[in-house]
Structures are given as C-alpha cells and as structure tokens.
Amino acid sequence: MQTTTPQLAETIGALGLGAADTGAALEVATGPAWAMLIPMLPLLGAAIMGVCAIMGVRSKLPAWITVGLLGFSAVLAAAMYAWLPENGRAVSVAWEWINVSWGDEPGQTLKANFGFYIDSLTCLWMLFVTLLATLIALYASEYMSHDLGAGYCRFFAAFNLFVFSMACLVMGDNLLLLFLGWEGVGLCSYLLIGYHYKKHSAVFAAKKAFIVNRIGDLGLLLGVFLTFVHFGTLEYKDLFPMVQPYIEAMRQGAVGDIPAVVQLIPVLLMIGAFGKSAQLPLFVWLPDAMEGPTPVSALIHAATMVTAGVYLIARMYPLFLVSEWALPIVAWVGGLTALVAATIAMAQFDIKRIMAYSTVSQLGFMFCGLAFLSSVGGAFHVVTHAFFKATLFLCCGAVMHGFAGQLDLRKLSGVSFMKGWGIVGIAMFIGCLNLAGFPFTAGYFSKDMILAEAFITPGPGYQFLGVILLLTAGITAYYTFRVFFRVFVGPKQFEPGDELHGHDGHIDDHHEEHGSASRATEADEGHTPGDHEPMGGSVEERGKKTHEHPEHFHPHAPGWAINGVLATLAILSVLAAALYFFPGADKSHKGWAGGMISGSSAALVVGGEADHPTRLAAFVGAEPEQGTLFGQDPHKIMYYVSGVIGFVGIAIAFALHYAGRKESERSAANNLLQVKPIRTAHRWANAKWYVDELYDFALRKPLWAASQIFHLIDKLLIDGLVNLVGYLPRALGKGVRPSQSGVLHSYAAAMAGGLAVILLIVLLLSL
C-alpha cells in the first residue's frame, strides 16, 4: 500500500483535485420548510397502517394510502430539485434535537438537529428512491393481495417505515441522523425479509441480514465517534470546511501532514459501507434476503438500501480523498466482489438469487467508480441500476406470483409467449439489455464511465482491476441472458412451484380453454407433452412426486398493477440512457449526473474551481503517464471494447441455452457439465464457493465452542463461588439446628456434656 500512496498524492496534487464542498466556509441557504414532508409523509403512512390493522381493514386501502403518500413525497422531491439555490446547498431544520455542551472550547458541544442537508446529491438519491418506492408499492398492492388483513397492514407499515428511514439517511444534515436512518433501514430490512415469520428459511435469512449488517454498523459507528473526537462536529456544513487543510496537504503531496486518525476515519466508514452494500467479506446476507416478498427485494435489495454504502462514501468523499488507504481498499474490495458474485450467479438456478448476486456484483462496480475518482460514473450507475434492476426483480416476482412460487429456470420456458405475459417478457428483455451493457442502453453508458477510469486513474493495480471488471462485464452479459433465454423464450413449458396449494384460485382457471397439462406445450407447435420431459417420467408421475394434480394448474397472468408498473419501469430504464447526454445544471459537465454531482461533496475540483468530474482524462489528456487501453484513450475505445465483450457474453448464452433447446431443463450447457473440470467449477460456484461453510467453520463454530466453555466457566466457577457463599450460612445453620430442638432433657444432657468437657480441660491444664 505504501508504494501506491505517492501515485494517489501526485495525482491529486498535480491535478489540484479536491471536493467541491471544501472551502474556507460553506454558504448554506435556509431550506424550505415543506422539504421535511418528504420523510414525514411515509412516517405518517406507517402510523396509518397501524390504525388500519387495529380497525381490521381487509381491503387494499393500506396500499392506496401508501401509494398516495409516497407519490406525494416523490412530487416534493422533484420540487426540492427544482428549488435548489444558486450555491447548490441548503439546510432545512425541522426542530432542534440534540444540543449538549460541556465547555466553551471547540469540540465540547455535540449538536445534531433533526434537519436536512439539501444539495444535488441529496436530490439525486431522493428522486429515484421516492419514485421507485411509489411504483413498487403499487406493484405490491397486487402482489401481496393474497394476505389482505393484518399481514397486509404489517407489510405496508414496514414499507413506509423503510422509506422514512432511507429519507433520513440521505437527507440528514449530520452524521448522527444518517446513522439513525442507517439503523432504521436495517431494522425494516429485518422486518420485511422475515415477513413470512412462520417460514424457517425467512426467519433465518432475516436474522442473518441483521447480524451481518451489525458488523458493518460497528465500523460506521466508530467512524462517527472518531469524526466528532477529531473535528468536534457531526454537521456537514461545519465538517467539510475543516477538511480543507488536509485537501491542501494532499495537493502538495505532504501526506505525512495528514494525521493518521483522519486517514482512519474513512476506513471505518468504509466498513459500514461494505456491510450495508454487501461487499466482501460481508456480502453473504443479501442473496439469502430473497426469502422476503419480491417487492422487498426490488425496493431494498436492488434500488435503495444497498446503495446506502455508495451514498455514504459519496457524501463523505472529501475525507476519502485525504486517506492514503481508503480508496485503494474500496477499489480492490469492489472489484473482487464484482467478480466473485458474478461467478456465483453463473451457476445458480433460482432466478431471484441470480439477480441478487448480480446486485452484489453491480455494487462492486459502483464502489470501483468512486475509488477510480469517477464519482459521476459511480452515481450514474446507481441511478441506471436502480431502474433496470428493479425491473428485473419485479419481472421475476411476476413469474413467481403466477407460477405458484416457481423460480427454477430449469422448469420454466417460453413465458414471454404465453397468454397475458407479453409485458413481463418485454420488460425483462429491456432489463437484461441494460444489465448486460448492450450498446446505447443506460447500463452501457454508466458502466463504461467506470471501466474507462480504471485504465486512467493511477492506483495500486487499477489497470489489472480494469481487466477484472471487463471480464466481469462479459460474465454479467452471459448469466443475464442465460435467464432470459431459459425462462422467457424457447419452447412453452412450465411446472408449478411449491406454493401450488396456496394458489387454489388459479387452479382450473380457464381449464377448458387451455387444456390440462402441467407444462403449457401448445398444440400448434406440433409437440406432445412427452417431448418435453426434462425430469423423466410422465406428467402424472411427476405430479405424484411433487404436487397434487399439477396437470390442472394454469399460470395466473399478472393484473393491471403489476403490468403497469413493469411497463413504466421498462420505459424509465430506456429513457435513463438519455441522462448521459442531457445537460446538467452546470453546462461544463457532460450529462445530467455530472451536473448533479458537480455541486455536492462528491464532486472533484481542479485548481479550486469546478471542472469536469466525469472523466479524469479531461484533466490529464496530454500527460504521457495517462493510462491507455490498446494504445488508445480508454474513454473513446471503451465504447467498442465493452460492446464487443457484451456481445460475446450474449452470444455464448444464446449458443448454450437457446439454440436447439427443445426442453425447459436441458440445453447445450448440460453437455459442458460432462467435462470434469467444468463440472467441478460449476459445483463450487453453485455452492457459492462455500463461503457460508467457511464462515461457519472459521467463525460460527469456534464462537459456539467458546460460548460453551464460557458457559461452563460461568456455571461452575462464577455461579459456584456465589452458590458457595450462599451455602456456607445454610450449612452452619443446619449444623447447629439440632441443638435447638426444644427438648428439655436434650438441653440437660448437653449441659452435662459441656460441663464434663470443661472439667476435663481444667484437669489437663492443672497436670
């Protein structure tokens, strides 16, 4: 690490890089009072859900109330963006909350109001958080309709509480309010993942998510403590100017003038970010979180909560810039996480888990963007990923909802061409194109901004990380279209999932119209059910093994709410690409995301004045040490390189999972698994590289053994000493108790015996 510090210091020093919010003093305007309604409306919604539960409401009223309140919050977020003052930042204080002083010296006053820091970074996050929350709530109104009543109210109460917590995390004007919002989203995640509290796997996943997040949260809490100890404040408007001397020291290459404690703060904050955003080694909770309802997966684990770690680094970017350790660690952890998660996704069969590992991988890209000094690339990928990944998750949820919980890609095929599933298929195709980085999609542009910076920014092995990320991009294109080619196109076949008995209303629907086959093999294709037997045996035999009369099952096509939300998200995923070309507020920044970042703490500045933060190449274009890719400017050639890699990944998926496939379960990929090395690698990747087993062996079992030892020590030694102290008086009392029997002749005998003993002693002494 020491060998790379001069590189980073030289880069920041030569380019005059710093944070836009660092200066002698921040001019902060007073924000509008109505801005506080953005988090308060979801909080009101959570309270109303409690009233609905008490009153025994058994309709969709909780969903409509939630959609209305969240929609109003989204409108207010847009108004907040339109209101932004000229200086780009404001503080809106709802009420004075904590103001404790124990002296008159600097750093002897702890002040943390319930206030909101409004700048372009805040607006960027809140725009997509509130919009997606509104759409997903509408989707959930139909998806959760099977649970009308107390469970329905409980779901939307936690849903509203989550949006409130996320708003406090993003909008808070101090680190303490950010931390409370951080803990709030963790609590709501626990409640929503474990929504099916009678299901063992869901309860286990909820506890796992809660515990793993607490590990990261300890790092964040220590970072907050250390920030106050060193700087004496937790408020952004006071904190960022205090970082300016260290920015100047970094500019001059005087890294030794930056105290170690200042460099340690971002490292601790980074640990919290790794936990919440599911990065190595704390990524194991997010795939298991798929046990929660699909709207939870889309809202929390694809679009909002998991981006909290990215937001934390972006918000505290000035501190990360003055640490010689933090950003290199962020880069390597992000890059390795992206690769490891992508390899696991290649071998999974549960389509929701594939999307979960994809989320982990894409979060690694975002962290790399921030570490490569492409804060715009990281933030832009957050926005584009939020829309297309929510689309993908909700499409998977629609399939799960309609096929009785079936998520195994080996048991579904041709879904797009079944009656009523066209919108789902189109939305899934658009989402897959974005995730695969297909040219001219939003995911293509945002991912390219990050990939190019890997070959430009000096850093410890950053170009090697760029190669890793390019490989990961190809793997991503492969496993994304593996899902699409297996599930949404191909021969029309299906097998219902384990929730068949929970969908009685779907059984026998349109039975006369569609026939009685457990797999929808259309007659006009000229196939018989026997032509599509991937599991072996007849339909009836398989039915006896898995479900009662599966041949009577017909998939339940999504209704207007699910289809409407999917269509809207698909359109937004397409339109998001225009943000790459749409000018921001600052015309010197290319792209809307660049304009949003330029006035925030995540921006980079050159020579004290804002310049193009999107591409570091703009700062060092003619420098001989600038990194190249195939001898060309990485930003220019990356369009072609990533496009080719994406095409290759899609082509491999086409050849292995679509071409010539006549059965839902078998494809050309099955032949590759006959090769022993490939079969072994597939088995390991399918087992998630045994990371959970490693943690169980290296951490859980030793801790369990230690707990048993300490239990014995506590029981035998500690409790034994306490019990001994209590036993001695009882034993003494028990010994003297016979002497107080109340029998007169016993007392006389005792007196005579005592007198005899005394006389004997006197006699012995006299002799």
Residue % of the chain over a pLDDT of 70: 85
The pLDDT assigned to 626 comes to 58
Helix (H) or strand (E) holding 383: helix 375-402
Average pLDDT, the chain: 83
Q: Please name which of 470, 438, 466 lies closest in space to residue 453, comparing C-alpha atoms.
A: 466
Q: What tens digit of pLDDT does each residue of 117-161 get?
A: 999 999 999 999 999 999 999 999 999 988 888 889 999 999 999
Distance CA(636)–CA(388), nearest Å, equals 25
Weakest-pLDDT range from 248-262, 403-417, 648-662: 248-262
Helix (H) or strand (E) holding 19: strand 18-19
Helix (H) or strand (E) holding 89: strand 89-101
Alpha carbon distances (Å) from 495 to 177, 429, 549: 48, 22, 12
- Most confidently modeled of 13-17, 59-63, 603-607? 59-63
Q: Are 657 and 671 in contact (CB under 8 A)?
A: no
Q: What tens digit of pLDDT does each residue of 375-385 get?
A: 888 999 999 99
Weakest-pLDDT range from 265-269, 314-318, 440-444, 661-665: 661-665
| Torsion angle in degrees (nearest 10) through CA of 167, 170, 174, 175 | 110
Mean pLDDT confidence for 229-234: 91
Taken in order 196, 197, 202, 207, is the CA torsion positive or negative? Answer: positive
Neighbours of 336 (CB within 10 A): 17
Phi, psi of 333, deg, nearest 5? -65, -45
Alpha carbon distances (Å) from 602 to 17, 282, 325, 376: 12, 25, 18, 8
Instruction: State yes or no: pLDDT of 324 exceeds 70.
Output: yes
The pLDDT assigned to 136 comes to 94
Distance CA(764)–CA(767), nearest Å, equals 5
Distance CA(192)–CA(189), nearest Å, equals 5
Distance CA(446)–CA(427), nearest Å, equals 20
The more confident residue out of 13 and 347 is 347
Q: What tens digit of pLDDT does each residue of 511-546 get?
A: 333 333 333 333 333 333 333 333 333 333 343 344
The domain locations on the chain are 500-552, 691-766
Q: What tens digit of pLDDT does each residue of 545-601 get?
A: 444 445 677 888 899 999 999 999 999 999 999 888 876 544 445 678 888 888 788
Q: What tens digit of pLDDT does each residue of 173-226 get?
A: 999 999 999 999 999 999 999 999 988 999 999 999 999 999 999 999 999 999
Distance CA(262)–CA(143), nearest Å, equals 48
Strand ranges inside 390-511, DSSP E: 412-413, 493-494
The whole-angstrom distance between residue 275's C-alpha and the CA centroid of its chain comes to: 8
Phi, psi of 43, deg, nearest 5? -65, -40
Q: Are 287 and 293 in contact (CB under 8 A)?
A: no
What predicted TM-score, i.e. pTM, was given to this entire model? Answer: 0.85
Q: Please name which of 362, 353, 638, 597 lies closest in space to residue 482, comparing C-alpha atoms.
A: 353
